[in-house]
Each structure stands twice: as structure tokens, then as C-alpha cells.
Amino acid sequence: MREAKLGRRGFLGSAAALSAAGWAGSIAGGLVLRPSWAHAAGPIKMGIATDITGAIAPSGNANWQVAQYAVEEINKSGGILGQPIELYLEDTASDPKIAVGNVRKLIQERHVNVVLGGITSAMRQAIKDPIVNRGKTLYIYPQLYEGQECTKFLYNTGPTPAQQCDRLIPYLIKTLGKKRFAMPSANYVWPQLLNKYARKVIEANGGEVVFEEYYPLDQAEYSATISKIKDGNVDSVFMTIIPPGLQPFVKQLYESGFQKSGGVLTCVYYDENLLNYHPAEEMEGLVSCLDYFQAVDDPFSKKLQEGYAKMFPGTKYLFTAGSASTGMYRGVKFYEAAVKATGGKLGREEVAAAMDHAVLTEGPGGGAEMVPGHYHAKMNMYIAVCKNEGGKTRYDIIDKASMVDPREC
């Protein structure tokens, strides 16, 4: 068995070599990162099920690295009440069919105490049943998403539509004065449910949705849409298109002179990674709203970035909000807080009861706290605008909302 011979250092070394070559490596057999010390009660087993390979591997690898970082931090400071955390990784391969089998391994063979992971909603839907119902294990889902996930023993640590829209849309309408919205979107569940919520907030604030339209995920030509934006005098594009259909849309919108004539492009999953997906001039003025940006001026967040960069020097996988990394960090820390509250008991009922009231005083973008009985967390939300300086892009934070309510369940 590969894992038996592979110590943590050995693994990190080979993982670094692999990722230096560009491949995260196939992990068909799963991976274990054992702590460097032991405790009489044995380690706490934490399972990470994320997309190491496939279409969304960049996010999945960032998640895995953030999980390692958070766990390393906890283990270095003595574990949870003396018990170290042992990390188990299974690749969900951006493919729910493969994921279900691999997640079962975490539960049935590894007997993990908790599973964190899944990035897309399709993945969460596929793996929640094997984890929560059949597997009788606690599940923490880290990504920003469309809401309405109210399953017992499933905790969501990323932002919800309310958290992303409640402050952002009034800002677009009242502060920037942009009232006529277009909602070009990729045709799947997240844009559809997010738009449903956003439309309510837009209309409640005196804005108007000129059109809401869905495209195949890989659409390459948008001239019909651009023409509708022009003809409808749209001044605010609330976009939920995702790659690969994303880049041609943004380019055609920019070429149409939308931004030059005062239009504002908004997209609520845009983090630091996404800025590199477009030429800098196309990103100028883009508005995003997330639970964390690297530009957030918070000493603890800065320390996190430094520690992460030290553990993974020169990594391609950034610690950002859009890739579920902030939710992953929060998830690991919420679990730590919950186990501390139970006095080290690892039973699902006990940990879940403690999880319900868990509070983090610090984290990326600030602290967070679970809303008891609602399976979602309050957290700080930031509105940021992209600035382009001589071909280099960055976010400027222009608004912070403290401890925004998720308004779910």
C-alpha cells in the first residue's frame, strides 16, 4: 500500500514535485496524512472529498491545500484537546459518479468522523446521501452556493445568495444608480436559484430586470445577448456565466463599449483567480461580493496568507473565496470548535449539537458563527471593485458588512 510507506513529509515532497510539474497526481488509492505524534484515544479522522482532477481541479487542489494548512496549524498547537487530526483525501474527480464510490471509501473503510468537501452543487447532491444518510457521518460543505440545503448533519460554511445579494444589490441600485439589470447565466442550478433570489432583491429596491437568459455552458457566441443589452438600455449586468462560456461573453460585452458608456458588470463568484481568466482591461470596474478578498485589511487574514504561502511556496492554487477555500478553512475550524465544546466526544449527535452554536473569532475575512438550527453561518461580506493599473489587476474593497445573516432554512 502506497500510504503505509508514505509519511507526511514524504508525501508533501512528492506532492510538491508533482504539482511543480503541473499534475496533482492521480490518487486512485486515496491518501492519508498522519500527524507526527499520537494520543492514547487515537487521532480524529477527517475526510476530505474534493476535486483533485477534472474540470474544477484548480479549486479542488486549493481546497485540499487549505485543509492541510488548517489541520497542520491545529496539530502544531497540540491538536483538539490533545487529540491530533489525521487527514484522509479522496478524489471526487469533478464527476459525481466517481465521487460516490470514493466517498463511500472514506466512510466504510476509513471510518472518518467528518467529511468536508464537494464544490459544485451537483457534487454536494451526489455525495450528501452516502455521507449523511447511509454513512451516518457529519458533512461540511464549503462553497458559496444557491442555498436551500437544509439537511440535518450537513453544515454549509460558504456564503448564501442572501449574503451575496442583500448588501450588493442595494449598493448597485442606490449608490451607483444602476437600475436596469440583465441576468445572463449559465444553464444550471446555481444561476437559476441565485437569480431567483437576486431578482426579488432588485425589485424590492426599485430596480428592474430587463431580461434573464440561460446559455449552454460552452456557448461561444453572444452577439444576440449583447444586442439585447444595448437595446434594453441595460446599465447593470448581473452575470452568472461560468467558464468556458464566460470569456467570449465578457470580451463581447467589453467590445460593445458597455463599460465605457457607464455600465457595470457584476459577478458574485469572482475572486483573485478569475481576474487572470481575462485581459486586464476587460476586468476594470467589475464588482464582486464575497466573504474574503486578499485585499481585506485584517491582520489575521494576512497571517493566514503568509502561512499558506510558506507551506506551499509558489503554488498555482490560491487561497481565495471563490474556490471554496475560505469555506474549507472555516469548516475545519468550526469542527475543531465543536469537538472542543463536546469535551473531545466524537459522536455525530454530540458534535452536531455543538456545531450548531460554534463560533470562530477569527478567520479569512474575519470571524464567523453558526446560526443555531439553520445549518449556515453568519460571516463578514465584502464588496470589491476591480482596478486595472497598467495591465495589472487588483481588487479594492469598498464596503464591508459585518456578520451578515445567511437567511436560509
Partner 1 sequence: MDFAIKFAFDIMAFTSVMVLIVLGLGVIASMMGIFNFAHGELVLLGAYTVYLCDEYGMGAWTGVILAPLVVGAVGLVLERTIIRRFYATPIIAMLGTYAIGLIIREIVRGLLGGHYKAIPEPVSGAFAIGGLEFSIWRSFIIATTLAVIAGCYLLLARTSIGLRVRGALENPMLARACGISTGRLYALTFAFGAALAGLAGALIVPLYALSADIGIRFLVQAFLSVMLGGVGTFEGPVLGAAAVGGMAASLPWVVIPVLADPLVFVIALVIVRLRPQGFITVGRL
Residues at the interface with partner 1 (CB under 8 A): 19, 21-23, 55-58, 61, 187, 213-216, 218-225, 227, 243-244, 247-248, 251, 255, 257, 273, 276-279, 281, 316-317
Q: Is 381 helix (H, G, I), strand (E, B) or coil?
A: strand
Closest to partner 1 by CB, 151 vs 247, is: 247
List Cβ<8 Å contacts ≥24 apart for 348-352.
348/136, 348/137, 348/138, 348/153, 351/113, 351/114, 351/138, 352/138, 352/152, 352/153
| CB of residue 220 to partner 1, shortest distance in Å | 7
| CB of residue 248 to partner 1, shortest distance in Å | 6
Closest to partner 1 by CB, 357 vs 387, is: 387
Cis omega before residue 35 (within 30°)? no
| CB of residue 298 to partner 1, shortest distance in Å | 27
Q: Is 42 helix (H, G, I), strand (E, B) or coil?
A: coil
Closest to partner 1 by CB, 311 vs 353, is: 311
CA distance 123 to 107: 17
Closest to partner 1 by CB, 241 vs 355, is: 241
Asked if 48 contacts 117 with a C-beta cutoff of 8 angstroms, the reply is yes
| CB of residue 128 to partner 1, shortest distance in Å | 25
Closest to partner 1 by CB, 272 vs 336, is: 272
CA distance 172 to 58: 30
| Residue 20, all three cell numbers | 511543480
| CB of residue 58 to partner 1, shortest distance in Å | 4
Contacts of 109 (CB under 8 A, 6+ apart): none
CA distance 335 to 33: 18
What is the amino acid identity at position 205?
A: N
Alpha helical stretches, state H, 43-184: 57-76, 96-108, 121-128, 161-165, 168-170
| CB of residue 184 to partner 1, shortest distance in Å | 9
Closest to partner 1 by CB, 62 vs 138, is: 62
Closest to partner 1 by CB, 213 vs 362, is: 213
Closest to partner 1 by CB, 208 vs 213, is: 213
Which residues is 217 bridged to in the sheet?
none
Which residues is 48 bridged to in the sheet?
89, 116
| CB of residue 178 to partner 1, shortest distance in Å | 23
| CB of residue 66 to partner 1, shortest distance in Å | 16
